[in-house]
């Protein structure tokens, strides 16, 4: 039985990856941050699932998780690492608390590298292991290719993941370890039903962006509730792990034409699209005069 590690397994995309992979015969080690989530997933998925309790930013805890997987593998190679754990910090960049921005990057970027560094020996950089080298799947986003207003911190983290993944793929060729990116659009998960209270954007009510943020939030909630089923992402992850010749990146979107248009438009036209839709078109500033009088 091949083994895969999935981070951020408690809900959403991570949970769906565990569901698809265990149903396909994989043994899955899934990371969660809470003991109660570990118990719940163990009940839901049975013997095919082993919980790992760690926060991806905690190097000591991640190392302990890797040691548990190493012991369970008994010298065999880990077939896959799915770097899925992540958060989204909303808000206009010029008003965003710097600590919040740092946390966004710590979880979505630095945390992914921490996990990768601790698990890559199990994937085959340690050549003493038995079996073919494993693969790394990085969960990015359409926001890793095109940034929307008010999710700039999240987009910055996903743009970083795109570059990190490409560099990793080329560096890890030395060991035969492939790196594949999954870039989903909106995904229908329970988080959208709680969106009115999930994201603390009330902090920005006193800024010039308040009305535009309200519009953007409405669009995102509507898109999420009509988004892709998370199992669709799980199936793409399975393909990335098992295809003989996987693509370097799989883009998935419930509205592929819309996302293609936004990404294909000249940047200034895309700017105009967002400005009109969200009411962001500002007034032209007067040109300073050299005249005195």
Strand arrangement, sheet containing 135-139: 49-53, 27-32, 3-6, 80-83, 135-139, 178-184, 249-252
Burial category of 175 from C-beta neighbours within 10 Å (exposed 0-12, middle 13-18, buried 19 and up):
middle
Strand-pair partners of 184: 252
Which helix (H) or strand (E) element contains residue 252? strand 249-252
Q: What would the mean pLDDT of 10-37 be, rounded to a whole number?
A: 97
Q: What would the mean pLDDT of 40-53 be, rounded to a whole number?
A: 98
Q: What is the pLDDT of residue 75?
A: 98
Among 15-24, 89-98, 101-110, 187-196, the least confident range: 187-196
Model pLDDT for residues 197-233, shown as the tens digit of each residue: 344 567 899 999 999 999 998 888 888 788 899 999 9
Question: The whole model's pTM is what?
Answer: 0.92
Does the residue 252 lie in any domain?
Answer: yes
Does the residue 291 lie in any domain?
Answer: no
Q: What would the mean pLDDT of 247-261 be, rounded to a whole number?
A: 84
Q: What would the mean pLDDT of 22-47 be, rounded to a whole number?
A: 98
Model pLDDT for residues 146-175, shown as the tens digit of each residue: 999 999 999 999 999 999 999 999 999 999
Burial category of 145 from C-beta neighbours within 10 Å (exposed 0-12, middle 13-18, buried 19 and up):
middle
Does the residue 288 lie in any domain?
Answer: no
Does the residue 34 lie in any domain?
Answer: yes
What's the length of the chain? 293
| Measured distance CA(231)–CA(18) in Å, rounded | 9
Is the per-residue pLDDT at 4 higher than 60?
yes
Phi/psi for 217 (5° steps) reads -65, -40
Token duo for residue 69: 């997987």
Does the residue 217 lie in any domain?
Answer: yes
Cβ-contact 185, 227 below 8 angstroms: yes
| Measured distance CA(160)–CA(285) in Å, rounded | 34
Number of domains in the chain: 1
Give the residue numbers marked as catalytic: 154
- pLDDT higher for 199 or 142? 142
131: domain CATH number is 3.40.50.720
Is the per-residue pLDDT at 293 higher than 70?
no
Is the per-residue pLDDT at 8 higher than 90?
yes
- For 208, the 3-state DSSP assignment is coil
| β-pairing verdict for 3-6 and 178-184 | unpaired
Q: What percent of the chain has pLDDT over 90?
A: 80
* β strands within 54-192, DSSP E: 80-83, 135-139, 178-184
Does the residue 287 lie in any domain?
Answer: no
Q: What is the DSSP letter of 130?
A: B
Phi/psi for 91 (5° steps) reads 135, 155
Among 27-41, 141-155, 270-284, the least confident range: 270-284
Q: What is the pLDDT of residue 291?
A: 47
Does the residue 80 lie in any domain?
Answer: yes
Q: What is the pLDDT of residue 5?
A: 99
In Å, the largest CA–CA distance within the chain is 85
Q: What is the pLDDT of residue 221?
A: 83
Cβ-contact 228, 252 below 8 angstroms: yes
**What residues make up the domain containing 236?**
3-278
Token duo for residue 215: 């519009």
Average pLDDT, the chain: 91
Is the per-residue pLDDT at 260 higher than 80?
no
Does the residue 284 lie in any domain?
Answer: no
Q: What would the mean pLDDT of 81-100 be, rounded to a whole number?
A: 96
């Amino acid at each position: 039985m091949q083994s895969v590690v999935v981070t951020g397994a408690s809900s959403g995309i991570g949970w769906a990856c565990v569901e698809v992979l265990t149903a396909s015969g994989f043994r899955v080690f899934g990371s969660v941050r809470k003991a109660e989530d570990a118990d719940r997933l163990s009940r839901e998925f049975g013997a095919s699932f082993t919980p790992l309790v760690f926060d991806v930013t905690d190097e000591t805890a991640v190392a302990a998780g890797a040691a548990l997987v190493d012991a369970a593998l008994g010298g065999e190679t880990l077939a896959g690492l799915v770097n899925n754990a992540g958060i989204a910090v909303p808000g206009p960049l010029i008003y965003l608390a710097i600590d919040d921005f740092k946390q966004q990057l710590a979880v979505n970027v630095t945390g992914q590298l921490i996990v990768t560094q601790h698990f890559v020996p199990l994937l085959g950089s340690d050549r003493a292991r038995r079996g073919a080298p494993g693969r790394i799947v990085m969960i990015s986003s359409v926001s890793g290719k095109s940034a929307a207003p008010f999710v700039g911190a999240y987009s910055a983290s996903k743009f970083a993941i795109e570059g990190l993944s490409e560099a990793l793929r080329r560096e890890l060729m030395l060991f035969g370890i492939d790196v594949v990116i999954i870039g989903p659009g909106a995904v229908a998960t329970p988080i959208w039903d709680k969106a009115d209270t999930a994201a603390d954007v009330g902090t920005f009510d006193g800024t010039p962006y308040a009305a535009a943020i309200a519009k953007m939030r409405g669009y995102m909630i509507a898109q999420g509730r009509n988004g892709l089923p998370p199992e669709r992402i799980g199936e793409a992850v399975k393909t990335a792990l098992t295809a003989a010749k996987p693509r370097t990146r799989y883009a998935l979107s419930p509205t592929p034409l819309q996302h293609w248009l936004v990404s294909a438009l000249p940047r200034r036209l895309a700017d105009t699209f967002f400005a009109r839709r969200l009411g962001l078109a500002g007034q032209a500033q007067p040109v300073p005069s050299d005249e005195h009088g």
